[in-house]
Chain A
Amino acid sequence: MRAYLAQTGMELRLTARRGENVLVTLVIPLLLLLFFASLNLFPGSSKPVDFLLPGILALAIMSAGMVSLGIATAYERHYGVLKRLGGSPLSRGALIAAKITSIVALEAVQGVLLVGVAVLAFGWTTNGSLPWAVVVALLGTTTFAGLGLLMAGALRAEATLAGANGLFLVFALIGGVFLPIDHLPAAVAAVSRYLPVTALADLLRAALGGGSLPGFSLVVLVLWTAAIVALTVRTFRWE
């Protein structure tokens, strides 16, 4: 327990110390929310923030799990940090738990920041279900943290860096984050339906908007989660 707490503290301090990390996990989602919520994207319909906030929350979850955790872990492997920790009494379980805790803590900061701005700047209100939103967010966290670790455990650090940032951009553009996917070309939309980020954004929108969870997106996300976790557990290399 003492080791887990100390390791969690270390993970959090390192996360806060990496400038590029703060940029991609906090500053970019916030700027995107401010920018797109200020545009008149959906004339005549409901407030754009109702559509945007869940999408940007999905983006934030992706940035914390896939980009931040994935790249950090890839470099820890590259620098032999994982190997050195493996030679200490810290158990793998405690290390993974510390990493999960630090990601959840980061997401809590992201959530407070993004929801706070949505409420204060754009008058966002919700009659949705917070427990469902949390469940969906945790499912999304598992998927994207798993995807980040999958890359970190199998690819060179530089390849993980490029891959995580590349995927982040692609998922942000075609993943139903800023716009409903029916605005995309039909062929792209057909692919987008099956992406984990589209499913996550869709589910968060339903949970926060007070609707029932869309079954198709739920199945897509759960399948992604199961597949990625299974693959990561099988392929992850500590050295």
Chain B
Amino acid sequence: MCFVTPAPRTAQPRDAALGDEQAGVAIRVVNLRKAYGSKVAVANLSFDVNVGEVFALLGPNGAGKTTTIEVLEGYRRADAGEVRVLGLDPQRDGRDLRRRMGLMLQDGGIYPQARPREILRLFASFYPSHRDVGELLKAVGLAEAVKTPYRRLSGGQKQRLSLALALVGQPKLVFLDEPTAGMDPQARRATWDIIRSLRERRVTVLFTTHYMDEAEQLADRLAIVDQGELAAIGDMATLRHGTEATVRMVTDAAVDVEALRALPHASGVQTSGPASCSFETPDAPALLAELTAWARDNSVVIRELRAGRESLEEIFLRLTGEEVRG
């Protein structure tokens, strides 16, 4: 019983941004800069997010992710550069934008005494059209807790209620700032399913996370930011571009590393103990064939032989360094 009121009169989107949505661009960020006093949060950031895309914004703490999102949401004014969200200027066209977007803050922002059902009903009343509150509560797994005051919900339940608030207004675009922080593995997977269902509805999703497996699982494309600048952007295949496959081999006895180095496709050989070595190679299949042939010819027993690509976590650490940030 989702009831729909007539669409609100909306100011005609002006200037160049007019074409954004037709061109399939949901979010456009051009040379964004934002500083708090002398501390530069976002130095110079540009990227686009396409309509219907699930997009991950990654980076160490203090990289400028939340600042970027808050500029897009209209909470903060950019010092320089231009942003467009659904073709709208978040500052000038904030009212129109807020009707069409949903958002999840890092800290809930919900009355401690409010109960899930009533707060969802309240937010439902704010939007031109809304999802059925009961179904949404079921979808985020809060059907059993509809009358529990917010302050007594678990961390994961609080996050899921906050997610439901982001979705209740049938947004065309949602901003999710660390949506699964504090969730147990079951709740995380349930949240992933919800985000995937948004993709099926062609809802654009921009999310941040510190879980690399989550970003890898969910995102169509990813951007890695570091110190307020873009370090890399693209889908997983693009981010891996130029990085070689890694082959790891463990044998049951010490091996002659020099013999391995002599193999035609062996490069970047590293050992971690006498019976364990790894290779960086542009051609993993060829190297694997050479290694197995070598083992057969020398009667070496292979305990483990693994070829794989760099994980997102490895890419992330390579691009942003290993030192701990604020």
Residues of A at the B interface (CB closer than 8 Å) are 2-3, 5-7, 9-10, 13-14, 17-18, 75-76, 79-81, 83-91, 239
* Complex: chain B residue closest to A239, CB-CB: B75
Q: Would you call B114 an interface residue if the criterion is a C-beta within 8 Å of the partner chain's C-beta atoms?
A: yes
Residues of B at the A interface (CB closer than 8 Å) are 73-75, 95, 98-99, 103, 105, 107-114, 118-119, 121-123, 125-128, 165, 169
CB < 8 Å: which of B74, B95, B105, B122 contacts A6? B122
Do A10 and B98 touch across chains, with their CB atoms under 8 A apart?
A: no
Considering the chains assembled together, what is the distance between the CA atoms of A223 and B263 in angstroms?
A: 91
Tell me which of B103, B110, B111, B121 has the highest count of chain A C-beta atoms within 10 A of its own C-beta: B111
Do B75 and A86 touch across chains, with their CB atoms under 8 A apart?
A: yes
Do B112 and A79 touch across chains, with their CB atoms under 8 A apart?
A: yes
Contacts A14-B113, A76-B111, A80-B105 given; does A87 touch B74 at CB 8 Å: yes
* Complex: chain B residue closest to A9, CB-CB: B122
Which chain A positions have C-beta within 8 A of B169?
A: 88-89
CB < 8 Å: which of A3, A79, A81 contacts B125? A3
Interface of A is mostly: helix
Q: Enumerate 21 A-B pairs (CB-CB under 8 Å) in ascending A order.
A: A2-B125, A3-B126, A6-B121, A9-B122, A10-B119, A13-B118, A17-B113, A79-B107, A79-B109, A79-B110, A80-B108, A81-B109, A81-B110, A83-B105, A84-B105, A84-B109, A85-B109, A87-B103, A89-B98, A89-B126, A91-B95
Do B109 and A83 touch across chains, with their CB atoms under 8 A apart?
A: yes
Cβ distance A10 to chain B, nearest Cβ, rounded Å? 5
Which chain A positions have C-beta within 8 A of B113?
A: 14, 17-18
Task: Give the number of residue pairs across the A-B interface with Cβ within 8 Å.
Answer: 68
Cβ distance B207 to chain A, nearest Cβ, rounded Å? 16
Cβ distance A50 to chain B, nearest Cβ, rounded Å? 39
CB < 8 Å: which of A75, A80, A91 contacts B109? A80
Which chain B positions have C-beta within 8 A of A6?
A: 121-122, 125-126
Cβ distance B88 to chain A, nearest Cβ, rounded Å? 13
Cβ distance B187 to chain A, nearest Cβ, rounded Å? 21
* Complex: chain A residue closest to B100, CB-CB: A89
Which chain A positions have C-beta within 8 A of B108?
A: 79-80, 84
Cβ distance B268 to chain A, nearest Cβ, rounded Å? 48
Contacts A80-B108, A88-B98, A91-B95 given; does A14 touch B114 at CB 8 Å: yes
Do A87 and B111 touch across chains, with their CB atoms under 8 A apart?
A: no
Considering the chains assembled together, what is the distance between the CA atoms of A110 and B325 in angstroms?
A: 54
Considering the chains assembled together, what is the distance between the CA atoms of A81 and B107 in angstroms?
A: 10
Which chain A positions have C-beta within 8 A of B123?
A: 88
Contacts A3-B125, A6-B121, A6-B125 given; does A89 touch B110 at CB 8 Å: no
Do B112 and A10 touch across chains, with their CB atoms under 8 A apart?
A: no
Which chain A positions have C-beta within 8 A of B107?
A: 79-80
Cβ distance A226 to chain B, nearest Cβ, rounded Å? 30
Which chain B positions have C-beta within 8 A of A80?
A: 105, 107-109
* Complex: chain B residue closest to A1, CB-CB: B125
Do B99 and A89 touch across chains, with their CB atoms under 8 A apart?
A: yes
When A and B form their complex, which 3 residue pairs have the shortest distance between CB atoms, in order from nearest? A84-B109, A80-B109, A6-B125
Q: A10-B118, A14-B111 are in contact. List 10 more A-B contacts (CB 8 A).
A: A7-B125, A9-B122, A10-B122, A14-B114, A18-B113, A79-B111, A80-B109, A84-B110, A88-B126, A89-B126
Considering the chains assembled together, what is the distance between the CA atoms of A14 and B165 in angstroms?
A: 19
CB < 8 Å: which of B98, B114, B125 contacts A87? B98
Cβ distance B2 to chain A, nearest Cβ, rounded Å? 15
Cβ distance A107 to chain B, nearest Cβ, rounded Å? 21
Which chain B positions have C-beta within 8 A of A83?
A: 75, 105, 109
* Complex: chain A residue closest to B74, CB-CB: A87
Cβ distance B149 to chain A, nearest Cβ, rounded Å? 8
Do B95 and A89 touch across chains, with their CB atoms under 8 A apart?
A: yes
Cβ distance B150 to chain A, nearest Cβ, rounded Å? 9
* Complex: chain B residue closest to A80, CB-CB: B109
Which chain B positions have C-beta within 8 A of A87?
A: 73-75, 98, 103, 105
Which chain B positions have C-beta within 8 A of A90?
A: 126
Which chain B positions have C-beta within 8 A of A91?
A: 95
Considering the chains assembled together, what is the distance between the CA atoms of A194 and B75 in angstroms?
A: 40
Considering the chains assembled together, what is the distance between the CA atoms of A90 and B119 in angstroms?
A: 13
Which chain B positions have C-beta within 8 A of A81?
A: 109-111
* Complex: chain B residue closest to A91, CB-CB: B95
Which chain A positions have C-beta within 8 A of B127?
A: 88-89
CB < 8 Å: which of A7, A18, A76, A79 contacts B122? A7
Considering the chains assembled together, what is the distance between the CA atoms of A6 and B118 in angstroms?
A: 10
Considering the chains assembled together, what is the distance between the CA atoms of A89 and B123 in angstroms?
A: 9
Considering the chains assembled together, what is the distance between the CA atoms of A91 and B127 in angstroms?
A: 11
Considering the chains assembled together, what is the distance between the CA atoms of A155 and B73 in angstroms?
A: 26
Cβ distance A88 to chain B, nearest Cβ, rounded Å? 5
